[in-house]
Structure 1
Amino acid sequence: MSTIAEIAARLQGYDPQALSATQVGEFLAQLVEPLRETEQVAIFDALDRVLARDVVSPISVPPHDNSAMDGYAFDGAQLQPGQPLELEVAGTALAGAAWRGTAAAGQCVKIMTGAIMPAGLDTVVPQEFTQLLDGDRIRIPPRALRRGDNRRLAGEDLRAGEPALRAGQRLGPAACGLLASLGLATVPVVRRPRVAFFSTGDEILSLGDARREGAVYDSNRYTVFGMLKRLGCELIDLGVVPDRPERLEAAFRDAAARADAIVTSGGVSVGEADFTKAMMKQLGDVAFWKIAMRPGRPMAVGRIGGSVLFGLPGNPVAVMVTFLAFVRPALLRLMGATAPPPPLLKARSQEAMRKKPGRTEYQRGFVSTAADGALQVRTTGNQGSGVLSSMVHANGLIVLHHGQGNVAAGDEVDVMMFDGVL
């Protein structure tokens, strides 16, 4: 396990007083090591869990050639270019049981969707394409289909013995359904990471406290709770911790003893009159950063005991932005997830935005569809780091990159969407 100093030495141009957003991501990728403990869970409990090992398909899916349509199965070799085809119906094949008869030349079998294709038959004409004739006969018009149409081949989805899902995949609804289609009742997953979180500061009120001058109600704990919960972490809520050395020490020691990661908000800015930074440094191997970004410049990272520490700024929007930009990807790595982050979307800016090169800015934005079908985005107004309502009104973050300058109305910008994240 590398120390902060060892990781810093490996990063080109590392300067804790002027880190780019890219450098932060590179640092955290080396700081955070994936959990190794695994457990077996039922498919109904597997949603959003991270797969611990490759799942090899025990069967082929589908197990037999089957019909993709309600219609009539026949030997497609009987089709003649530009000619209709008349066939006698020899029987009916239902889903869930094989038809045991034999279809001779000039015959077909009425078949339901999902039914096993009878031996020797390779083509299905949809029922609505046919004309019923007298005497259990059908007529297929010319050029209605080609040989092999509407037949699902055995194993065309998955073949027995081949990997169905790879280790590190976060299991969504489709993956859970795929596992069930293989007859698997349980699946091996990485255990949930335990994350302790708390807010710091004498000015912070807990819900239920009487209001007092200069104090504000704690919102950060609830936004952090929501983001951690949606990520699938096991949560340890340590509440609001006042700026007293003995209380801070107790909270950090408790968190480090019980959690894989610790997320705090407040107490990491330069010149703050509190003991949070001093206690972090006393108890662990911690770096204090000034990141070239807006909002969310101050941040602390490191380890206390066996726990990874993320010390976030105190302003509500800065907490959420730094969590989305840095903490969430790091926790996904801790969970063993290997999928790349979702791609940024391109949208036309509906307004001009001032931006100086040399820092990454995350503007709260609302993405919609323009009259021409293209994506467009506007800001939600006041972009102050304490304006939490701006995150409520946004459906994504406009990402203005480190080297990017001013944006004119109509320019294309990158957007990080909230859907599924917030």
Structure 2
Amino acid sequence: MTGFDSFAMVDWSSGNDTGPRPRKDAIWACVVRKGEAEEPMYLRNRGIAELWLRNLIETEIAASRRLFLGFDFPFGYPKGFARALTGSDDPLKLWDWFERRTEDSPKANNRFDLAGEINRCFGGKGPFWFNGLQRDIEGLPKNKSDYQNPFPERRAVELMPEAKGSFSCWQMGGAGAVGGQVMMGLPVLARLRRAFTGQISVWPFEALDTPVAFVEIWPSLTLGSAPDGRIKDAWQVEQVALSVARMQVEELAQHLNVNAAEEGWILGVSQSKPNIAPPPLRNDCFALPAGVNWTPVDDALALLRERLTVVATPERVALSQAAGRILTEDVLANRSNPPQPNTAVDGYGFAGAAQEGAQVMPLYPGRAAAGMPFDGTVPDGHAVRVLTGAALPDGVDTVILEEDVTVQDNHIAFHGPLKQGANTRRAGEDVAEGDLVLPAGRRLTPADLALLSATGIAEIHVRKTLRVAVLSTGDELVEPGETAGPGQIFDANRPMLLSLIDRMGFQPVDLGRVPDDRAELRDRLNSASGQADVILTSGGASAGDEDHVSALLREAGAMQEWRIALKPGRPLALGLWNGTPVFGLPGNPVAAMVCTLIFARPALGLMAGEGWQEPRAFDLPAAFEKRKKPGRREYLRARVRDGRAEVFASEGSGRISGLSWAEGLVEIEDGARHIKPGDMVRFIPYGSFGL
């Protein structure tokens, strides 16, 4: 593939004509030639946009310029859909299929009716959803309450970490929907291909050896907010066109070198397979080595540390909004602290050391105070009044405390000796301009904010707060305040886990609870994968008839059950749902909390960008006796009294009161142990986990 001469980016819309005045949520396009961007074009409806595209293609071909033309909607659907409608896996035949069936005018189109017609071919409950019209459409649900999708929910590219935030092409309307864009965009592209037969190639389905290339790009995956005063869509098409135009031929070729012949791909999303979310979904991320049945705690932690990656995305925020956030890069001081030499006390300043014995100096008029520097130079042999924090006046390098001074007749008297520089602070003695203030990966504390502010930092690059969804499962659960029937219990896990997430510095997302209903759980997990970066479930994570979390993850081809050699909480289900990591915790509250602290806490910190955090532990004498067999690690609920570690009277995993009674955990190693009072044990306070 040779290079391109001109570049254009189009932001598409499935809506009606937006009127003559440029506005957001419309069709926008921008062309770049010779590295210079033209003014973004506002195209009020698809008919005008199609005519504009025809003219652009004709102009570039006539001028013998190779045109790179980007669009912001998917060029293909998830695997199997093209064959179901056309009898072929060729996505370009699907383009023609849509082109023959769409009806479009500036004020109306048939996209919702066509979606309903397609759904009726598959039972009338999917794959498309959301009816944006006032009338009912047979087969097209308004929401996902009775939704069933016979095809994958997302394309492989949309499961990649870089595509976090992309939307499913099955959603026909509502916030972020691209389903309507696809259905109303592909017919236009199909007509353009037919009008310029042999002149247009479509990436990644065809070799790019023609004068014009159609390429899928989603600006919103890489660009943030537009500058003040600019329409976001207009700014994004300009920035994307410029970015692609500035790529070297080799760099662009590398981005275009992907293999996605049926579903298509998003330019800029790497096709490498990181451990956190390999497409297609497989067990690779959490799979244990062959032959492993019981996983030691240390091995499980090492596997999580090795295979998980950062998923929280970066952003720039004001210092006032940065508490608890995690730095994405090192921060260097913009200003020294102190910025200039200053006085550490209230007193009197002069130059040089004071010899032993009585000293008398004339008092120079004026004073220096914090924020009100002395104007002038203090003559040699004179003193001047200075207050704490004041910049040292010219001619002053030493300060005597006012308590050690007698003032009379415009003179001061005191007893020496006093060494030169006493009671002063040097410029930059705390932090010098250009010094490393804080390293990348640090979670910012209130003290950090003081340091950053003092060194002139107003805005910083941090990671967005990791969103952690919490979901309880089980028919037996009821909410506190409801009436618990026979065999039912109050949901203790969800309030505990939501509070743990919040105290650890992550953003909790409450998904409520679902009964033992696989379809409802599937819908809730689908919702969670769009709202959160990580999902924590409790219950249903083992291998029984009602363990639906494990069953659904297994159906998705992305589930591993780690039988961890620990007490309490041996089974830990790990998997991916729509590319989002899932931690399936035991239903028992004691086991759920222990597994969250020991496994989920360091894993969440790594995904949040603060690195793998080992909990700090202390060796203390035991105030108890215990015999333990070899083979698994044990965690006992414990607290410290009189310098010794006490453990809860019962080790029963159903005793929730022990969690409240405790202040941390005593960790007993994997081997056999007979602990007697006074023996040293390892105590991990709850505070080590950020609680």
* Structure 2 CA distance for partners of 1:8 and 1:255, relative to 1, 3 Å: closer
Could you list the per-position Cα deviations for residues 304-342 of structure 1 after superposition, in whole angstroms to 9, with x for gaps in the alignment? 221011011111111111111111111111111137435
Aligned to 1:283: 556
Aligned to 2:385: 110
**For residues 6 and 276 of structure 1, what CA distance do their matches in structure 2 show?**
18
Structure 2 residue 583 is matched with structure 1 residue 307: no
Is 2:337 aligned against 1:61? yes
| Cα separation, 2, equivalents of 1:98 and 1:23 | 62
SS in 2 for 1:225: helix
Q: Does 1:79 align with 2:354?
A: yes
Q: Partners in 1 of 2:638 and 2:545 — Cα distance?
A: 31
The answer on 1:94 being equivalent to 2:369 is yes
**Partner of 1:237 in structure 2?**
510
| Residue pair 2:542, 2:573 contacting (<8 A) in 1 also | no
Contact 2:312–2:466 (8 Å) recurs in 1:
no
Q: C-alpha deviations, 1:53-72, integer Å up to 9, x for none?
A: 22222211111001111122
Residue 654 of structure 2 is aligned to residue 381 of structure 1: no
- Secondary structure, aligned partner of 1:406: strand
Identical-pair percentage: 36
Relative contact order higher in (CA < 8 Å, ≥ 6 apart): 1
8 Å CA contact 1:168–1:339 kept in 2: the answer is no
1:48-197 alignment runs, 5 A limit: 48-76=324-352, 78-80=353-355, 82-91=356-365, 92-128=367-403, 130-142=404-416, 145-197=418-470
| Larger CA deviation: 213-222 vs 36-45 | 36-45
CA contact (8 A) 2:331 2:436 kept: yes
Q: Which amino acid in structure 2 is aligned with residue 402 of structure 1? A: D
> Is contact 1:8–1:14 with CA below 8 Å preserved after alignment?
no
Amino acid at match of 2:390: A
Alpha-carbon distance between aligned partners in 2 of 1:194 and 1:286, rounded to the nearest angstrom: 21
Larger Cα Rg: Structure 1 or Structure 2?
A: 2
Alpha-carbon spacing, 1:139–1:364, altered in 2? closer, same or farther (3 Å): farther
**Secondary structure of the residue that 1:300 maps to in structure 2?**
strand
State the secondary structure of the residue aligned to 2:628: coil
Deviation at 1:15, TM superposition (A): 6.1
2:313 is matched with 37
Residues 244 and 36 of structure 1: is their aligned pair in 2 closer, same or farther, counting only changes over 3 Å? closer
Q: How does 1:261-410 map to 2 (within 5 A)?
A: 261-269=534-542, 271=544, 273-338=546-611, 340-368=613-641, 370=642, 375-403=643-671, 405-410=673-678
After TM superposition, the score normalised by the length of structure 1 is 0.89
- Matched AA of 1:267: G
Aligned equivalents of 1:282, 1:252: Cα separation in 2: 13
Is the CA contact (8 Å cut-off) linking 1:284 and 1:304 kept in structure 2? no
1:340–1:202 CA distance, 2 compared to 1 (3 A): closer
How many pairs are equivalent?
Answer: 411
* Higher strand proportion: 1
Matched residue, 1:421:
690
Query: SS at the partner of 2:674?
Result: coil
Q: Which residues of structure 2 form unaligned runs of 5+?
A: 1-273
After TM superposition, the structure 1 stretch with the greater mean CA deviation from structure 2, 62-71 or 208-217, is: 208-217
Letter in 2 for 1:51: L
Unmatched 5+ stretches in structure 1 = none
Separation in 2, partners of 1:14, 1:119: 75
Aligned-pair distance for 1:152?
Answer: 1.3
Determine the C-alpha separation between the residues in 2 that align with 1:273 and 1:5. 22
Matched letter for residue 460 of structure 2: V
